[in-house]
A and B are shown apart, each in its own frame.
Chain A
Amino acid sequence: QKEVEQDPGPLSVPEGAIVSLNCTYSNSAFQYFMWYRQYSRKGPELLMYTYSSGNKEDGRFTAQVDKSSKYISLFIRDSQPSDSATYLCAMSDSGGYQKVTFGTGTKLQVIP
């Protein structure tokens, strides 16, 4: 079993839809949670990061962490074609953001 599981997709949605991206994990020591967006042939771009459980909102993006279920989510409201990319969840333990474990990424396509 992988430490971090993420549905690879692809996930296709119409423009304007609400997108839900999810990851599950098995390591209860994870306390720092991140979401990165990666366009084809580019390095990952940090979208959101949270510590421990709870919600965090930034514009059209909302990150949720449920440590009791070992489940994290990223919601994208009013999705745009420019949101089409691969979304990687990532997490690390109490050492901070030093050693990060990544999910395999979910490829998202927003259709105009």
Chain B
Amino acid sequence: GAVVSQHPSWVICKSGTSVKIECRSLDFQATTMFWYRQFPKQSLMLMATSNEGSKATYEQGVEKDKFLINHASLTLSTLTVTSAHPEDSSFYICSARFASGGPQGFGPGTRLTVT
């Protein structure tokens, strides 16, 4: 799978503030990256598909104005949680595929806690 990094690994923020999470492909160019959310003892739920140079595609039920995704380069996608609330506290994980295809490789995840 692809080698993907995420930053930060853990963040605590106050309710009402915004938080940005970065996802980088380390040794390849990723035209497509994916953002998932995982609640405790639950599986990964796809939030959106991030395409380099174009708008992200959001899954049903995911608020695009709350979860802003920017894929400005072939190695970087960012997820910004705007006006975060305690219910946004979760484990956010990004993934990427090699441009030539193949299964997704996942980043280490970012644990967000909103107080």
Report which A residues bind B (CB closer than 8 A): 8, 32, 34, 36, 41-46, 49, 88, 96-100, 102-105
Number of chain B residues close to chain A: CB under 8 A: 24
**8 Å CB contact of B32 from A45, A98, A103:** A98
Set of chain B residues within 8 Å of A8, measured between Cβ atoms: 41
Report which B residues bind A (CB closer than 8 A): 1, 4, 6, 32, 41-44, 46, 49, 91, 93, 95, 97, 101-109, 111
**CB-CB under 8 A for A99 and B109, given A32-B103, A41-B91, A43-B6:** no
Set of chain B residues within 8 Å of A104, measured between Cβ atoms: 42-43
**CB-CB under 8 A for A46 and B93, given A88-B43, A88-B44:** no
Closest B residue, CB atoms, query A96: B101
Q: Are B107 and A43 in contact (CB under 8 A)?
A: yes
A45 to B102, CA, bound (A): 14
A96 to B4, CA, bound (A): 20
B59 CB, nearest partner CB in chain A, Å: 9
